Structure formats: C-alpha cells, structure tokens
C-alpha cells in the first residue's frame, strides 16, 4: 500500500538517524509528509534533502529540555495546519552499572526519554482532540519489560515509564478518537549496536537469530499509525525476533 498515508502529516522525533530515520523514510514512501526532527537544524536539513526535499520538513529542538517538545509539536502544527500522527522516538541510553549510576544522569535520561514524550503527547492531544482523530506511537524497548541487562537502570525505567504513559493516555484519549500504542524493539542494527560481534549476537539467543533492522521497526510503527490498526490502542508490540517470548 505505497500511498496509504497520502496527505497525512506526521512528526517523528529523533529522526535524523537509526530507527527514527527509518520510520520517516517509510512514511514518506507511503505518501506522508514527515516533520523530521533533530537537535541541529543544519543536520536535519541535510537529512531532509537526502530523504525527500519536498516531503521531509526540517525541525530542530533539544528534547533534553522537555518543554521544547511541546513547542516542537506546536511548530509542526502551525506550519502544516494539521497533525495526523506523532512518533516519540527521541531518546538515548548507555550501559552503566547500577552502583555507578549518578542521580544527575538518571534525571537526564528521564527528561529525554520519558518527560519529553509526555510533553509531546500533551501538546499533540490538544491538536488531535479538536480534530477527533490521531495516532501516537511511543518507542519503548525490550528493556522496559525486565532488568535491562545491556542498558542501565535509568534507561530501563524510562522505557517502562513510556509503556505506562501509553496506556494511561490511550484510556483517556480513546473517546476523542485518538489512539496511542507503544513499540518495544529488541536490539536494532543501528549505531547503538556497533561493536557487537557475531558471537555476542548469538549469545543473545534471539529466536529469529538476527538483530532487527530499522525497517523492521518502521513497518510496525507504520501499521500502528495507519487505519489498518484502527481498533488497537493501549497496546505494546514487541519487535524483537521473539527475544521477549524466550525470556
């Protein structure tokens, strides 16, 4: 369905690389106009020109300051006149031992990964409530559903928070025709997975025996944004090659 998003406007945060860029590229391939977001406007403009000079719109904001997420949503709506969907993908994390995790670092992770998504959801809610339609997808993680293992406790907690936020938002917004779901990828073959050897990957015991690609995740996000998932809200879809199932 190459044009199932014709005339739709989506905002994908953190979309200059990795999963976010993969999502933006797929949505544009399927007919959407996408607000591409990153911290550096120069970088975002470069990515937009690489993806599609007409369908990719550049927006810059530093989401480590959560309030800027609301301004970002408002800017996209102001420029385009509508907002059909929001993908809260921006985030970061690193492997750090619990005993060495500093409170300041914990707070910084929550601000970027969780609080900015909360603020963006609130701002999108205002727009979508008036239109009485819209779909939001929050990018969680396999780490949200267990001890995190390869990531720090701060990252795992922020992603678990996104799952809870997704369900709370979905319950309240459903009566206005707004849906909210989450995607929990396993390890994706992006810059964050650099350095993993074939033996490392084998030891992960992923039933499908490979890492996810950005397109694997993008396909599921596109489904959740589309009318084909019109009866899904408050759900968490695992895109992890069966790793969650296998424990």
Catalytic entry in 125, 155, 231, 244: 155
State the number of CA atoms in the 13 A half-sphere of 245 facing the CB: 9
Q: Is residue 231 flagged as an active site residue? A: no
CB within 8 Å of 233: residues ≥ 6 apart: 170, 174, 179, 180, 181
Distances (CA, A) of 154 to 22, 62, 101, 150, 159: 25, 20, 8, 12, 9
Structure tokens at 147: 């001890």
Q: Show the DSSP H helices in 147-235 as ranges.
A: 153-173, 198-203, 214-225
Tell me the catalytic residues: 155
């Amino acid at each position: 369905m190459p044009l199932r998003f014709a005339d739709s406007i989506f905002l994908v945060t953190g979309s200059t690389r990795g999963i976010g860029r993969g999502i933006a590229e797929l949505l544009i391939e399927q007919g959407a106009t996408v607000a591409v977001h990153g911290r550096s406007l120069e970088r975002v403009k470069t990515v937009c020109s690489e993806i599609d000079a007409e369908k990719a719109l550049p927006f810059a904001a530093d989401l480590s300051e959560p309030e800027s997420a609301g301004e970002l949503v408002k800017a996209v709506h102001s420029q385009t006149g509508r907002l059909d969907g929001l993908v809260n993908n921006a985030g970061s994390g690193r492997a750090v031992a619990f005993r060495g995790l500093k409170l300041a670092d914990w707070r910084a992770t929550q601000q970027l990964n969780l609080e900015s998504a909360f603020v963006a959801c609130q701002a999108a809610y205002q727009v979508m409530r008036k239109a009485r339609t819209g779909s939001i997808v929050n990018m969680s993680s396999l780490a949200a559903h267990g001890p995190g293992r390869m990531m720090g406790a701060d990252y795992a907690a922020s992603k678990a928070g996104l799952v809870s936020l997704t369900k709370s938002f979905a319950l309240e917004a459903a009566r206005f025709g707004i849906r909210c779901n989450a995607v929990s990828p396993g390890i994706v073959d992006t810059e964050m997975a650099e350095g993993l050897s074939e033996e490392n990957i084998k030891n992960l015991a992923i039933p499908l025996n490979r890492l996810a690609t950005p397109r694997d995740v993008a396909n599921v996000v596109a489904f959740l944004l589309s009318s084909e998932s019109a009866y899904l809200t408050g759900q968490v879809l695992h895109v992890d090659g069966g790793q969650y199932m296998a424990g």
